[in-house]
Structure 1
Amino acid sequence: MELRRGMARLIGGVLSRRAPARLDRTRSDLVVVVSGFDDAEACSTALERGIEDDPVWVVDADAVLRHHLRLPADAVRGVLDIAAQDGYAPTSAPESVADGVVVLRLERVQVLDALHCSQERSRMVGLAQRHGGTALGWEGLQPHAAP
């Protein structure tokens, strides 16, 4: 009996120290705090800009990393299937921009840093190219912080 209570206290203590809940990517108060739509600009440079601009990027906080991909409409299902394996979900239905061409926005929650942002950017470039498309750029979104 005493062993059970001790285990319950131990487990309860561990559970109460869990990490805070992940950011909900569907929150209505998310704003773009950093973006990169220039292929020649490093993610580190874009992130540095995010610290200086308003709204300010909060470095150690969760963010929604959103990629914009221009794809043939018939490639969307395959891209969604592959991206889902890495935790990406579409923001909405693809936006038609030309006959048979759409813009698909994929996003997931993560802490942004230069290394991982660059890796994900490269991953999306490769994914889009393998399906006959291009990666247009990326954005980082966080809740709007009051001044």
Structure 2
Amino acid sequence: MPGCSKMNRAGLQFIRKLYQDNPEMPFAQMLPIYNDNAIRNGWRCLRSSGTIAYHLTSMGLYRYRERIISNKDFGHRMVKVSTSVKKEMAKKFSVSNIAIWDALNYRTQSKLANEIRAWALNHGGKLFEEAENPYEKVVTL
């Protein structure tokens, strides 16, 4: 059974309580919380948030791909840059064009995505945000 020796009973109970208290918290965010607690209590630290997902699934608390964590900025904000700048960014950051698109459209929220957006804005990119239309509710007589 994978991950069986990675966590002791107290660690499993901690993960269970953490998940039950915050069911919408991403597993990647649970990992450092667990590892801080593991260091204090002398447990083994985990390297992957997948281990947390595995154990929560075996406990019957979580089903794979059942939680959808919404990204509030996706579709409401975007950074526009030219195609040549996108190609340059793909080479500089060693990522695919799809990863660049995801970062510029706020689909991903990682350190690399933040770096890509900052680099794009510093190299001529423009930030577009969806705003409320103040004239939308005007009644014409």
**Class of the TM-score when normalised by the shorter of the 2 chains:** under 0.3
- Structure with greater contact order relative to length (CA < 8 Å, sep ≥ 6): 1
Tell me the TM-score normalised to structure 1 length.
Answer: 0.27
Tell me the TM-score normalised to structure 2 length.
Answer: 0.28
**Which structure's residues are more often helix, by fraction?**
2
